[in-house]
Amino acid sequence: MEQENSYHKKHTMWFIVIIVLVVTISVMHYTTSTHKWQYHLLFMQAYFIPIIMAAFLYGIRGGLGTAVTVSIIYFPHIMLQWGGLVETNLMRFLQMLLFNVIGYVTGLQAQREMEETRRYQNAAAELEKSLNRLRQQSEKLAELEDQIRFADRLSVVGELTASLAHEIRNPLGSIRGAVEILRDQVSEEQKNSEFFEILIKETDRLSNVLENYLNFTRRKGQQESHYDIREIISNLTMMLQSQARRRQIEIVCRLPENLPTVSGDPNHLWQILINLVLNAMQAMQQPGKIEILVHYEERNDEQSISITVCDEGPGIDPARLNEIFQPFYTTKSSGTGLGLAIVRRLAEQNQWKISAANRESGGAEFKLTI
């Protein structure tokens, strides 16, 4: 828009300059005595300046139009001040003819150059559009390459975990069982030894890490059933209450009464929510509150249930909001980076929507829409 306004202003200015030149030269013709013929010769040649200027600016229309205008203005001067006889004013009549010839020829050449320039500009614009399309396609290709790399990594992880799962799980189960047997066989004083607890706890931790990899790389068949979201959330909070209490964290649930049942695999919802709540607990380094908010909406014969898990932690780095659901992305020193990736995978498998955002009051919130 600014370029277009500048273009119009420029042409308006030159149009005014051409008019001023034609009027000024004509006034000098009419006000100069015919005895000063040498001045009139100079004024006649000066008419070519506005004619050529108009031809270069406006093409044939500008050059020929200005030449005709000059001829109309100049003709009375010949007839009235120079007597109008062809014999004595042949040069002046030829000069009028030359005005029009020069105006037309120069305008024709300038118009061809302008059309050629427009063609080049259009071609350049098309090339720029093509380059932009190619740039967008290359960006999409880069994204696809990243996805392929992720798929390759997941494929490798899947092959490794599938082949090693049995070999790792059996020894871990044997170690845990042996520790429990040893603990049962020692005296009561020795049972309280922290080493037994450390062994059992670390064994369970290794089993959980292994289970995370397995859950991400395999796709389980769904156990279709109708289940109550309220019941799942109530059982989940009851199970996590003791762990939350040790961290001085309060879990608050706000559940509407009129929630319909949901069809699908209840284990998927359970796994999504337990990942979100545990992440919220780990993000909170100080005592606080975790809220599980459920909202039910019915509009145009469509039902939707949104479950939002809110914490009072430090929140998420805004520059990393788009990365937190990527496999292997983690900010924890001991994290695998698969918790939220599993959440997104289960949500997509059920055609649900999962999103993350920072709260204005502080902390983060994850919203699951069913």
Cβ within 8 Å of residue 357, ≥6 positions away: 321, 364, 365, 367
Q: Which of 85, 105, 132 is the last residue of a domain?
A: 132
Contact 264, 224 (CB under 8 A): yes
Amino acid type, 268: H
Contact 350, 264 (CB under 8 A): yes
Name the token pair of 55: 């031809």
Name the token pair of 184: 């049962």
Domain that holds residue 311: 225-369
What is the per-residue pLDDT for 213? 59
DSSP 320: G
* 3-class secondary-structure state, position 365: strand
Q: Does 188 map to a domain?
A: no
Name the token pair of 46: 């000066």
Q: Does 111 map to a domain?
A: yes
Contact 337, 328 (CB under 8 A): yes
Instruction: Give the CA count within 13 Å in the CB-facing half-sphere of 244.
Output: 21
192: pLDDT strictly greater than 60: no
Q: Which of 97, 132, 167 is the last residue of a domain?
A: 132
The residues facing 303 across adjacent strands are 298
Strand ranges across the sheet with 353-358: 249-254, 288-299, 302-310, 364-369, 353-358
The residues facing 302 across adjacent strands are 299
Q: Does 159 map to a domain?
A: no
Q: Read off the pLDDT of residues 231-268 as tens digits, 9 standing for 90 and up.
A: 888 888 887 887 888 888 888 888 888 888 888 888 88
Cα–Cα separations (whole angstroms), residue 176 to 188, 201, 203, 329, 358 = 19, 9, 7, 30, 41
Q: Does 350 map to a domain?
A: yes
pTM over 0.85: no
85: pLDDT strictly greater than 80: no
The winner for highest mean pLDDT among 81-95, 160-174, 211-225, 298-312 is 298-312
**Is residue 103 located within the same domain as residue 233?**
no
Quick one: pLDDT band at residue 332, thresholds 50, 70, 90?
low
**Is residue 253 located within the same domain as residue 122?**
no
Instruction: Give the CA count within 13 Å in the CB-facing half-sphere of 367.
Output: 11
221: pLDDT strictly greater than 60: no
Q: Please name the helix (run of DSSP H) or strand (run of DSSP E) that holds residue 366, with its range, or none.
A: strand 364-369
Above pLDDT 90, what percent of the chain?
3
Contact 291, 254 (CB under 8 A): yes
Torsion of CA 234, 240, 242, 245, to 10 degrees: -100
Distance of CA 46 to the CA centre of its chain: 59
**Is residue 7 located within the same domain as residue 126?**
yes
Amino acid type, 200: I
Contact 99, 47 (CB under 8 A): yes
Q: Does 84 map to a domain?
A: yes
Q: What is the mean pLDDT of the chain?
A: 79
Alpha-carbon gap, residue 251 to 241, rounded angstroms:
7
Name the token pair of 341: 């990736």
What is the per-residue pLDDT for 308? 92
Of the listed ranges 165-169, 267-271, 321-325, 349-353, the one predicted with least confidence: 165-169
**Is residue 123 located within the same domain as residue 240?**
no
Question: What's the CATH number where 234 sits?
Answer: 3.30.565.10
Q: Does 216 map to a domain?
A: no
Alpha-carbon gap, residue 271 to 263, rounded angstroms:
16
Q: Which of 68, 97, 132 is the last residue of a domain?
A: 132
Of the listed ranges 116-120, 177-181, 220-224, 245-249, the one predicted with least confidence: 220-224
pLDDT (average), residues 47-62: 86
Q: Does 231 map to a domain?
A: yes
163: pLDDT strictly greater than 60: no
**Is residue 121 located within the same domain as residue 254?**
no
Of the listed ranges 123-137, 181-195, 347-361, the one predicted with least confidence: 181-195
214: pLDDT strictly greater than 70: no
**Is residue 8 located within the same domain as residue 127?**
yes
What is the per-residue pLDDT for 164? 62
pLDDT (average), residues 153-174: 63
**Is residue 125 located within the same domain as residue 237?**
no
What is the per-residue pLDDT for 188? 62
- Spell out the alpha helix ranges (H) of 32-85: 37-46, 48-81
Name the token pair of 273: 């929510």
Q: Does 180 map to a domain?
A: no
Alpha-carbon gap, residue 329 to 168, rounded angstroms:
24
- Is the pLDDT higher at 335 or at 112? 112
Number of compact structural domains in the chain:
2
